[in-house]
Amino acid sequence: MDRRLVLMSAAAAAGAVAGISPALADTASSASFGAPLVELQVPVGVLTLEQKAAMIKGITDVVFNAMKLTPAPARLSFVQIIETAEGGFGVNGQVFVPRGK
């Protein structure tokens, strides 16, 4: 399953939860699917759940402002925080290890 199909399926599921008719999702072709996806990679354990929630909200706001969009129940955006295992994240050519480790 390709990434676009996964996102379209997720968008349809999110729309169903929000009470949006699945017919709207079915009528949109994959070529016109334009929900923004932002991936943020961080080392494992650097962000608390509260910080992740704040990052997701803040990034969503920035994307909507940059695209001059207003939030709406039928308008979806995706923010995915990917936690990279220790030793799998680097800065300036060096392995990054969070402070305190």
User: Does residue 42 sit in the same domain as residue 89?
Assistant: yes
Question: Does residue 30 sit in helix, strand or coil?
Answer: helix
Which pLDDT score is estimated for 53? 95
pLDDT interval class at 15 (50, 70, 90): low
Given a cut of 70, is residue 29 above it in pLDDT? no
Q: Which range of residues forms the domain containing residue 100?
A: 36-101
Taking alpha carbons only, the member of 64, 4, 10 closest to residue 29 is 4
Given a cut of 80, is residue 42 above it in pLDDT? yes
User: Does residue 22 sit in the same domain as residue 44?
Assistant: no
User: Does residue 47 sit in the same domain as residue 71?
Assistant: yes
Chain centroid offset of residue 69 CA: 16
